[in-house]
Structure 1
Amino acid sequence: MTAVWSPPAPPPTEALPASEVGARILTAAAGLFYAEGIRAVSADRVIAAAEVSKVTFYRHFGTKDDLVVAYLRVIAAAERAAVDRGRAEHPDDPLRVLALYADSVDAQSCRPGFRGCAFINAAAEYADPQHPVRAVVAEHRAWLTGTAVELLTQAGSPDPEQAALELVLLRDGAMVAGYAGSPDAGSALRRAGRAVLHAHGVALPA
């Protein structure tokens, strides 16, 4: 049975296909890709799940790779929107924004059907670093690290680049641990994250 798929937050409207049929194809594909793996799901499986014809499918997505790229871009847009919302609500509290992100990772790992980070999963399935899918993965991870650097700089870290790298590595580990069945991945992420912040000169609230 395919796991129910949903991004970590509602994606911006502009990230979705303009047509209702395109959105239905993408939603059907996303559920299958996330639950079963991208390579394991054929275009025909997606066509059947979306209840469209082959002609309709290829009118909206020229290739399966185009569909995979769209799938990842929607997840990326949703994650960015969630972080942007947190930054807008807490413009002077970067540590609160980081905590909200950790909470999001924890909440995702508790969902039924959780299979880890969609971007890590996609990178594992596409070995060629020049492939368009890997380009989307690289773009999103650059945003993730860059956003952490900005927040850590705002928080007063004298070494925000190294601290950001370590926090992203912790995030990746928590995602993998959550998928592997660890019930404490979220709380471990918070504890380890506080240790990284402390080690890199960020003053933490009591």
Structure 2
Amino acid sequence: MPERRTPAGSAQDRILDTAFRLFYAHGPRGVGVDTVIAESGVAKATLYKHFRRKDDLVLAYLDRVDQAWFGALRAAAREAGDDPRDQLVGMFDALTGACRRDGYRGCAFINTAAESPAGGPVHARTVEHKTVVRAWVTELARRAGAANPELLARQLTLLLDGGLASGVLDGDQAIAEAARQSARTLVDAALGVPGVG
């Protein structure tokens, strides 16, 4: 079947949109390149023109997931106000949004890391994402005045990851609110309860 003529960049977008949907639903390992080609409606040569190896396509998928998830975390933090203390808790509203999404399957980075060999470029990208998110949370904790911002960031990101996993395992949207309340407890313990003392 001949490929439809489309403006520059749109074939790549179709490939990425298709890969995003399929990889998130089934995991990158569970989806062959031929399936991405068939469902995106591009020729095999077109896919390989944009993505020389399947790993390149998986990395592009993870970049798109990173933009969406990290963007949602930062937006939720900003919506909580200007106080970094409130932002540390407010970022958990992104978890609420994620868990409510149709077809929610948990954290794409954790899912992909679980099926990728350690030391490879895909696994390294999953680790990089988690490191960057933790560094951002550490900076928020530092600005909030935490005595040990690295520890608080580690605790909060573990709670985020646990919430992402529990949201899919339990299928209970109350998980996100429980995670948010737990975040408030951790933040209050690390920074002191506002207005007390």
Asked if these proteins are the same fold (TM beyond 0.5), I'd say yes
**Cα distance between partner residues in 1 of 2:112 and 2:195:** 37
Write out aligned runs for 1:100-115 (5 A): 100-115=90-105
Which structure 2 residue ranges, 5 or more long, are not aligned? 1-7
The answer on 1:184 being equivalent to 2:158 is no
1:1-39 Cα distance to aligned partner (Å, 9 max, x none): xxxxxxxxxxxxxxxxx8111111000011000011111
**Number of aligned positions between the proteins:** 188
**Cα distance between partner residues in 2 of 1:81 and 1:45:** 29
Change (3 A) 1:204 1:139: farther
SS in 2 for 1:97: helix
**Cα distance between partner residues in 1 of 2:100 and 2:195:** 27
Change (3 A) 1:103 1:86: closer
Residue 28 of structure 2 corresponds to which residue in structure 1?
38
Identify which of 132, 135, 150 aligns with 1:146: 135
Identify which of 109, 129, 133 aligns with 2:118: 129
> Aligned Cα RMSD in Å?
2.1
Conserved 8 A contact 2:22-2:31: yes
Residue 174 of structure 1 corresponds to which residue in structure 2?
163
Change (3 A) 1:138 1:110: same
Write out aligned runs for 1:153-168 (5 A): 153-168=142-157
SS in 1 for 2:185: helix
**Cα distance between partner residues in 2 of 1:103 and 1:26:** 27
How much does 1:75 deviate? 1.5
Conserved 8 A contact 1:174-1:185: yes
**Cα distance between partner residues in 1 of 2:128 and 2:31:** 24
How much does 1:89 deviate? 6.8
Change (3 A) 1:48 1:99: same
> What residue identity is the alignment partner of 2:87?
V
How much does 1:82 deviate? 4.0
Aligned-pair identity in percent equals 39
**Cα distance between partner residues in 2 of 1:45 and 1:166:** 39
SS in 2 for 1:200: helix
1:114-157 Cα distance to aligned partner (Å, 9 max, x none): 0000000011011x221111111111111111011100111111
Larger radius of gyration: 2
> What residue identity is the alignment partner of 1:47?
I
Change (3 A) 1:36 1:144: same
Conserved 8 A contact 1:163-1:196: yes
**Cα distance between partner residues in 2 of 1:86 and 1:110:** 15
Conserved 8 A contact 2:166-2:175: yes
Conserved 8 A contact 1:157-1:202: no
Higher helix share: 2
**Cα distance between partner residues in 1 of 2:176 and 2:79:** 23
> What residue identity is the alignment partner of 1:97?
Q
Identify which of 80, 86, 89 aligns with 1:96: 86
**Cα distance between partner residues in 1 of 2:129 and 2:95:** 16
